[in-house]
Amino acid sequence: MLHTPGAHPVAERSFAHEVGKLRLGEGEEFRGEGILAVTKALLQSGVAYVGGYQGAPISHLMDVLADAQDILKELGVHFEHCASEATAAAMLAASVNYPLRGAVTFKSTAGTNVASDALANLASGGVTGGAMLILGEDYGEGSSIMQERSHAFAMKSQVWLIDPRPNLQSIVQAVEMGFELSEASNTPVMLQLRLRSCHMHGRFPARDNRRPTYTLKDAMETPRRDVSRVVLPPATYVHEQEKIAQRWPAAIKFIREHQLNEFFAEDAADFGIVMQGGLYNAVLRSLQLLGLANAYGDSKLPLYVLNVTYPLIDDEFKRFCAGKRGILLVEEGQPDFIEQNVSSILRKADVVTRVHGKDLLPMAGEYSGAVLLKAVTRFINLYAPDLLHGRELPTEARLALASSTLPPETPQTLAIKAAADEVQPRPPSFCTGCPERPIFTAMKLVERELGPHHVSCDIGCHLFSILPPFNFGATTMGYGLGWASASAFNGSDTSRRSISMMGDGGFWHNGLTSGVGNAVFNQSDNLLLVVDNGYAAATGGQDLPSSRAGNLRFSTGHSIERAVRGVGITWAKTVTNTYSLTQMRDTLRAALTTREHGPKVIVAQSECMLNRQRRLKPQVRQQIAAGQRVVRERFGVDPDTCTGDHSCIRLSGCPSLTIKSNPDPLRRDPVASVIDSCVGCGLCGEAAHAAALCPSFYRAEIINNPTAWDKFKARLRRVIIGWLQDRIEYRLKGIQA
């Protein structure tokens, strides 16, 4: 499984070819993805260091940085793959005493939660060099986490929140201005990138990269300290006063002077729309569909775009609302912090403009194109219904104004409804050949013997166990917190143990202390199962301390079993081949039934199949081309012995193990079928054995470039087996036509 250092393939997606765009200079046009543009913006801003922790939607930002090592080195930029978001946020401490610009990135709010300790301390003392947190806002459709807002973190720590218009030029500008804002107000800033912006392809005019004027070397060789920046009373009381008396006004001044927020067609009507910058494109599309704006953003309605959503600028609101009957505030997510703030600003200023927002828009959920179009239509209908008359309105706008009567049913609508009714959800699932699947198959088999157990889940691909066909797992409380979230179940009055899950990612993130250390200290008698697939797989296959791949950039190969023994676990077993269902099942059974008291840890170790295939496929192709003997394995099902019960699928759920119409004219139920995407992981055969399922499975071994010995054996077999097969055919002669 080990492979040579240096030949290590980068994460799931390689940006090796695209990082060349980071070298573009003044006068050239950049074309590419959002995350690449952000990286370019960092280089144009003269950062001295960058760090972060992977997680959608900014995983690829980490991958871009990792692939851009050469360019970073040339510019003297230090890049670090941080151990967690807390580590990343703490890294920004380099900007406290030194005029160093630095940026870290992680997903939000999951990562911001983890980072908030460091973030609060950073925000208290304030910064000298520009410090930026790039947040991948994982909210709305496609999100994989709880639905919360980063806005709350900005408010509680008084960190400025930038939410630029979603086009690359605006985003790049926001990064550059963000550093200046941070320095002008001695406050860290957060740049919020929404899900779809990260992977948006677009263009912007590039500028030259800048080397940091002050370097990490300078800082390390001439260290500075200022006790007034350290978070310890009485300095903390001073920090709070500073935030209000100095940093906040400085930020307001900077935002106003540099016009970070934008006004469009300010006086075009006596009502207008205020929006978070990130929602500008969708709002504008709504106006465009209603005939109230053109494709270039020329609007017939006044628009006020908050590219900085925290803090709000009271004077700008007063200015925009002057002479307006009402405004629509487009603020995604809840609580409606901005709306509350705006109401307060206007009330205190005695401005009578009505504030609409969550009355016309839904309180919760993503503001998709359809949602916004409806709300904008209703708003305009309140203030200037004439604008909507005499033109053909788009479908969603008509729906927004229609009375509650349903449109009449036609054969068309009935057919569409019938089709829509057939649609089933298709949640994500374990990939073909995933080494985590057999762990849960083994748990199913053990459950049949020992009965159900409380299963506590964690964050990672293994969380797919909560869905069919496995249906394991009661809670997931956060990354690395799988065992911690079962810590209440630690009594001596039952012999039934709880099972906690954790991935290698969560384990190194904090699970080693929050879960394992805690279980040792509190003398837990329960089981932790660490899924060690060699990568932070769910976030795109990044390396970890326990990765088994050779790696020049990081120190890897640190054993999880040794780590848990190091903090005091005595019952620890490593299963090095999770596909061995019997081994996996027996180890699980032993952990759940052993008389030995104390916390137990099983490390279930097999390489992530997605990454393994990516690593091996090119090698295998080369070997075959070079004439070497290469055996490819895959599984199959004999349709004539399969009876269509699908027990095998209920124990696996592998995408390559599916169903097809029964070729037998007498049978109706579809038969199981293995499709060609099968990678021959072996689970099908193991499950057929361990669960005594069915003899329909076979393993096919396809020998490429057979040797002379292979060929000799084949010839011999052809003769003897062929003769016997002739006899079978003789017996069956005259039955089929």
Partner 1 sequence: MNDDRVITIAILAMGGEGGGVLADWLVDLAEQNGYIAQTTSMPGVAQRTGATVYYLEMFPESVVPAGRYPVMALGPVPGEVDIVIASELMEAGRALQRGLVTATRTTLITSTHRVYTMTERTAMGDGRVSSEKLLAGGRAAARHFISADFARLAEAANSLIGSSLYGALAASGCLPFSRAQFEAAIERGGTGVQTSLKAFAAGFDAAVLARSPAVAATVPAQPLPAVGTRLQALAQRIRSEFPPGSHATLIAGISRLADYQDVAYAASYLDRLQPLAVNPLVTPVLLDETARHLALWMSYEDTIRVADLKVRRSRFQRVGAEVRLGASQQLDIYEFLHPRLEEIADTLPAALGRWLLVTPWARACVAPLLGKGRIVQTSSLSGFLLLYGIAALRRLRRVSLRFQNEHQRIDTWLAAIQRLASQHPALALEVACMQQLVKGYGDTHARGWHNFQRVMDKLPLLQDRPQGAQQLQALRLAALADDDGKALDGMLASL
Per DSSP, what are the bridge partners of residue 191? 134, 162
Tokens 């604008």 locate to 387
| Closer residue to partner 1, CB minimum distance, 98 or 464 | 464
Dig out the tokens for 675 from the structure: 């499709």
Least gap, CB of 47 to partner 1 (angstroms): 23
Question: Measured from the CB of residue 563, what is the shortest distance to partner 1 in angstroms?
Answer: 26
Q: Supply angle C-alpha 509, 510, 515, rounded to 5.
A: 140
Category of 705 on φ-ψ map: left (φ > 0), alpha (ψ -120 to 50) or beta: left
Do the beta carbons of residue 151 and residue 333 sit within 8 Å? yes
Considering beta carbons, is residue 17 or 225 the nearer one to partner 1? 17
Between 461 and 529, CB nearer to partner 1 = 461
CB of 218 to partner 1, least distance (A): 37
Which pairing describes strands 29-33 and 201-205: parallel, antiparallel, or unpaired?
Answer: antiparallel
Quote the CA–CA distance of 669 and 661 in Å, as a whole number.
Answer: 7
**Judged by CB, which is closer to partner 1: 198, or 592?**
198
Can you tell me the distance from the alpha carbon of 438 to that of 192, in angstroms, rounded to the nearest whole number? 39
In whole angstroms, what is the distance from residue 298 CA to residue 538 CA? 42
| Residue whose CB is less far from partner 1, 471 or 522 | 471
In whole angstroms, how close is the CB of 689 to partner 1 at the nearest point?
Answer: 3
* Parallel, antiparallel or unpaired: strands 189-194 and 600-605: unpaired
- Write down the least CB distance from residue 230 to partner 1, Å: 38
Per-residue b or e along 443-482, where b marks 16 or more CB atoms closer than 10 Å to that residue's CB? bbbbbeeeeebbbbbbbbbbbbbbbebbebbeebebbbbb
Give the amino acid at 602: I
User: Minimal CA–CA distance to 191: which of 61, 371, 365, 366?
Assistant: 61
- Please, what sign has the CA dihedral across residues 350, 334, 196, 287? negative
Contact present, 653 and 687 (Cβ < 8 Å): no
The closest of 8, 2, 4, 3 to 553, measured between CA atoms, is 8
Cβ closer to partner 1: 463 or 588?
463
What's the closest the beta carbon of residue 304 comes to partner 1, in angstroms? 16
- Closer residue to partner 1 (CB): 134 or 252: 134
Least separation, in Å, of the C-beta of 722 and partner 1?
8
Interaxial angle between packed helices 280-289 and 369-383, expressed in degrees from 0 to 180 and rounded to the nearest 10: 60
From the CB of 365, what's the least distance to partner 1, in Å? Answer: 13
Using CB atoms within 10 Å of the CB of residue 723, give its burial: 0 to 12 exposed, 13 to 18 middle, 19+ buried. Answer: exposed
Q: Which is nearer to partner 1, 257 or 421 (CB)?
A: 421
Q: Which is nearer to partner 1, 225 or 389 (CB)?
A: 389
In angstroms, give the least distance from the CB of 19 to partner 1: 17
For partner 1, which is the closer residue by CB, 199 or 597? 199
Helix (H) or strand (E) holding 275: strand 271-276
Question: What is the C-alpha to C-alpha distance for residues 365 and 140, in angstroms, rounded to an integer?
Answer: 6
CA count, 13 A, side-chain hemisphere, 474: 12
E-assigned strand segments in 140-245: 160-162, 189-194, 201-205
Q: Quote the least distance from Cβ 418 to partner 1, whole Å.
A: 5
Which token pair is 736?
């089929």
Kindly list the distances between the CA atom of residue 666 and the CA atoms of 156, 638, 662, 669, 694, in Å, as whole numbers in the listed order. Answer: 69, 16, 9, 10, 20
Cβ proximity to partner 1: between 78 and 634 the closer is: 634
CB 66 within 8 A of CB 79: yes
Amino acid at 130: G
Give me the least distance between CB of 58 and partner 1, in Å please. 9
CB of 144 to partner 1, least distance (A): 5
| Strands (DSSP E) found in 591-649 | 600-605, 630-637
* Cβ at position 727, least distance to partner 1 in Å: 9
Residues 45, 175: contact at Cβ < 8 Å? yes
Q: How far is the CB of 286 from partner 1 (least distance, A)?
A: 8
* Long-range Cβ pairs for the range 457-460 (8 Å, 24+): 457/482, 457/501, 458/482, 458/500, 458/501, 458/502, 458/503, 458/506, 458/511, 459/110, 459/503, 459/505, 459/506, 459/538, 460/502, 460/503, 460/505, 460/506, 460/531, 460/537, 460/538
Decide whether 406 or 418 has the Cβ nearer to partner 1.
418
* Residue closer to partner 1, measured from CB, 232 or 724: 724
CB-nearer residue toward partner 1: 257 or 676:
676
CA 232 to each of CA 54, 67, 114, 228: distance values in angstroms, whole numbers, following the listed order: 32, 40, 22, 9
User: Between residues 556 and 643, which has the closer beta carbon with respect to partner 1?
Assistant: 643
Identify which of residues 232 and 423 has a Cβ nearer to partner 1 in the complex.
423
Rounded to the nearest whole angstrom, what is the least distance from the CB of residue 549 to partner 1 in the complex? 21
Smallest gap, in angstroms, from Cβ of residue 238 to partner 1?
42
